[in-house]
Amino acid sequence: MDDTNWISNDIEDLENILEIADEFYKLNDIKINKEKSELLLKLNKRKFDYKRKIYINFGDQIINIQPKHPNESTRILGVWFNMSCKKNYVTKQIQTEIRNISDNINRKMSYITDKQSLYIFNMLIIPKIEYRSQLTYLTEKICDKLTIPYRIAFKHKLKFARTAPNAIIENYLIYNWQSFTEVLK
């Protein structure tokens, strides 16, 4: 029973929703671990102790749950976001993923062709990043910075200097390297 999300304006409304959900789970003999629940709060109060646990009625059980800090990211259906709309976590995650794949490509450079390397970028990395960042606006500058490690690995595969103009690989008549910025538009 992963990634079930309940949205409410207040605790009472949330507890009513959880009571109905609990009845549904019992009716259909669905077992869930209520202790794995996460709570995201959007508060207008400046001073709120996010380390303090909150007790919520979840059907016939009372669970104590520590709310996530607004700057702390959480994953819902593979997409990361937080209540304060900060993009640091998502960009670091994308950067790590691209760097890991770039390192793998560098190690396997003699085993794969330039076309295979391009395919990995256009058909694996771009869709993966696009999915993960769908709730995060990334500027052109950030997109270019994130793809630098793979671009360098690709140029290395072509025996180009890392300072070779990107226009060479981005030209659709030569390699047709997909621009991450263009994909996000």
Judge whether residue 3 has pLDDT over 70: no
Strands (E), 66-158: 74-76, 79-81
Quote the CA–CA distance of 55 and 37 in Å, as a whole number.
12
What is the predicted pLDDT for the residue at 18? Answer: 92
pLDDT band of 182, cuts 50, 70, 90: confident
* Cβ neighbours around 6 below 10 Å, total: 12
Domain boundaries, the chain: 11-69, 76-184
Helix (H) or strand (E) holding 64: strand 61-65
What is the predicted pLDDT for the residue at 184? Answer: 67
Q: Which of 55-67 are b and which e, b meaning 16 or more Cβ less than 10 Å from the residue's Cβ?
A: ebbbbeeebebeb
Q: Identify which has the larger pLDDT, 109 or 58.
A: 58
pLDDT in tens, 90-144: 888 888 888 888 888 888 777 888 888 888 888 888 888 888 777 788 888 888 8
